[in-house]
Chain A
Amino acid sequence: MVTAKQVWDALAEIPDPEIPVISLVDLGVIRDVDVDNGTVRVGFTPTFLGCPALEVMRDAMAERIRALGAEPQIEVLTDDSWSTDRITPAGREKLRASGFAPPAPREASAPTLVQLQSNVFRCPYCGSTETRLENIFGPTPCRSLRYCTSCRQPFEQFKTI
């Protein structure tokens, strides 16, 4: 009989399709795992609803669960209870080491343009906060583009959700 821990371990091996340095478990998008006889239910929330990797992630999870000999039931949860605060400390460090600045903590109200334009975002390469907003949008919906005026390096900033 498969255990919840085996499932979590198997899911921890699935890289995020768009940022493969981090696993789905480190990204925090897997909300819960329920094992009931031979069925494994996984609740997961995409970072952004338009994430094109949704199907790829769903299929990858289902495949890992089948490999454990269980029947997968993947449920996409589209409520507001997930936030980028759920990215694990290990996940944040992996992001930073790969040149993606981890997201700022979520606050009660949505971030503002003034905040994004302020000097509080830290460059993942040199650690300076002398960085400026280049584009609210980036190569995927979950990222913004910033430029570090200290080490003159552009970098990607994970958006806060």
Chain B
Amino acid sequence: MNEQEQQLLLEIADDELILGWRDSEWTGIAPLLEEDVAFSSIAQNEIGHARALYELVARERGTTADELAFDRAPDEYRCARLVELRLLDWEKTIARHSLYEEADAKRLERLKQSDDAEIAGLAAKIDREEAYHRMHAQMWFDRLKDEARFTSALEELRPLLDAGREDHTQELAELWDEMTMVRRSQPAGTKW
């Protein structure tokens, strides 16, 4: 796996990890009980995808998935600005979900064609799971597509889809602080 491929996998893994954390923030407070269940499940899947992608890169770099996920500084992450925002509006959350799933599907299609069989195989497995996220996003898109608040959220967030991979918001630093707090409370090498 060359350096460029590793970077691409890290970008995707970082997107999935950070979005997973953001999606999990709806657990317990989503506007509908069914959406508590849905976003919690989506979050869990995204973090599972991040883990599998980090593991491929970690093997190449002689490190571990956990070290890649939690031991880098916030400015070393390569996630898009879209996923790092703490969105507390439902319409913005759904707008992000729609934009992200659409872009992620295109990215996975390309990755499935990779010459590296392991990357292609993992992308195909991830895509099977993402199909359910896309259906969920589509269902909400159809429900909200004529609402002005939703369409303006789409326009506001669309430019952030591929922005800021090397230039992050303060919100990522705050999330990183929460996300790594327990891990940082113990000396390196602690077995959990």
Contact = CB atoms under 8 A, between A and B. Distances in A.
Interface in B130-189: 131-132, 135-136, 138-139
B47 A159 contact: no
Chain A, interface size category, equals 20 to 34
B44 interface: yes
B124 A134 contact: no
Interface string B32-46: 001001101110111
Interface residues of B, number: 30
Contacts of A82: 125
B121 interface: yes
Give chain A's interface secondary structure class: loop
B44 A139 contact: no
B129 A48 contact: yes
A19 B117 CA distance: 32
A161 interface: yes
A78 B47 contact: no
A80 to B, nearest CB: 3
B110 to A, nearest CB: 16
Interface of A: 48-52, 78-82, 110-113, 116, 134-141, 145, 159, 161
25 contacts: A48-B129, A49-B45, A49-B49, A49-B125, A49-B126, A49-B129, A50-B45, A52-B44, A79-B118, A80-B128, A81-B121, A82-B125, A110-B128, A111-B131, A111-B135, A113-B135, A135-B34, A135-B38, A136-B132, A136-B136, A137-B132, A137-B136, A139-B37, A141-B129, A159-B132
